[in-house]
């Protein structure tokens, strides 16, 4: 099962390397990892999606806790939360199929951000399911390039 960990770390150089080294060293599988600044300039927030059973996730959390620069870890998998991912897809789009693609873009409330002679670049944001769905819908047209940011997440309400 995929778990989403929200990890607050010191905003120090090298923290990402420490986290990445830990995952590599202990053979934990990172599904996605995003890191960015927060409202507090002294800390960063990492959103780590990691695949594994409960025993493994418990180990991941405990090992992460041992890193001196990791301040707080929350497993938000089961918490009511908002999560978003952004994807850019370059899709083959000659004139015959362009209208159809634009319809899909409309349905997913995505945006076309570049038009080439035979290609479109589509930008979409949403939760993981939506991004998977748009990826699946565009695949038959021929996806030439695709990049996903990985998930960022925030717990709902006052928590």
Partner 1 sequence: MARDGTVEPCPPEQEVRHLKMKAANVLLRCLQEEGVDVIFGYPGGVVLPIYDALHSSDIRHVLVRHEQGAAHAADAYARASGKVGVCLATSGPGATNLVTGIANAYMDSVPLVAFTGQVNTALIGKDAFQEVDITGITLPITKHNYLLRRAEDLVRVVKEAFYIARTNRPGPVLVDLPRNVMETEIEFTGYPSEVHLRGYRVVRSCNMGQVVAAAEAINRAERPVIYAGGGVINSNASELLRALAMKAKIPVTTTLMGIGSFPETHYLSLGMLGMHGTRYANYAVSECDLLIAVGARFDDRVTGKISAFAPHAKVIHIDIDAAEIGKNFAVDIPIVGDVRQVLEELVPRVEEKEHFGEWHRTIDRWKEEFPLAYGEPREPDRIKPQYVIEQIYYVTQGKAIITTEVGQNQMWAAQFYKFSQPRHFITSGGLGTMGFGLPAAIGAKIACPELPVINIAGDGSIQMNIQELGTAMQEKLPVVVCILNNHYLGMVRQWQELFFGRRYSYTDISLQPDFVKLAEAYGAVGMRVKEAHLVEAALREALEVKDRPVFIDFWVEREANVFPMVAPGESLYNMLGGDDLL
Q: What is the distance between the alpha carbons of residues 33 and 148, in angstroms, rounded to a whole number?
A: 11
Q: Please, what is the minimum distance in Å from the beta carbon of residue 25 to partner 1?
A: 5
Cβ atoms within 10 Å, residue 145: 10
Q: Which is nearer to partner 1, 21 or 118 (CB)?
A: 21
Q: What is the distance between the alpha carbons of residues 43 and 37, in angstroms, rounded to a whole number?
A: 7
Q: Please, what is the minimum distance in Å from the beta carbon of residue 22 to partner 1?
A: 8
Q: What is the distance between the alpha carbons of residues 109 and 75, in angstroms, rounded to a whole number?
A: 30
Q: Please, what is the minimum distance in Å from the beta carbon of residue 9 to partner 1?
A: 8
Q: Which is nearer to partner 1, 33 or 122 (CB)?
A: 33
Residues that bind partner 1 (CB under 8 A): 9-10, 14, 17-18, 21-22, 25, 55, 58-59, 62-63, 65-71
Q: Which is nearer to partner 1, 63 or 77 (CB)?
A: 63
The radius of gyration of the chain's CA atoms, rounded to the nearest angstrom, is 18
> How far, in Å, are 12, 23, 62 from residue 57 at the CA level?
25, 12, 9
Q: Which is nearer to partner 1, 35 or 133 (CB)?
A: 35
CB 135 within 8 A of CB 146: yes
Q: Please, what is the minimum distance in Å from the beta carbon of residue 66 to partner 1?
A: 6
């Amino acid at each position: 099962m995929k778990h989403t960990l929200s990890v607050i770390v010191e905003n120090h150089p090298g923290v990402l390397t420490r986290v990445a080294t830990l995952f590599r060293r202990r053979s934990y599988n990172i599904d996605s990892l995003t890191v960015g600044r927060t409202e507090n300039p002294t800390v960063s927030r990492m959103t780590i999606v990691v695949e594994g059973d409960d025993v493994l996730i418990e180990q991941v959390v405990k090992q992460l806790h041992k890193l001196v620069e990791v301040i707080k870890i929350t497993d938000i998998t089961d918490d009511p939360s908002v999560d978003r991912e952004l994807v850019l897809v370059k899709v083959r789009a000659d004139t015959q199929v362009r209208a159809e693609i634009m319809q899909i873009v409309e349905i997913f409330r995505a945006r076309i951000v570049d038009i080439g002679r035979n290609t479109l670049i589509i930008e979409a944001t949403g939760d993981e399911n939506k991004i998977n769905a748009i990826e699946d819908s565009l695949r038959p047209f021929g996806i030439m390039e695709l990049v996903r940011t990985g998930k960022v997440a925030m717990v709902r309400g006052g928590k």
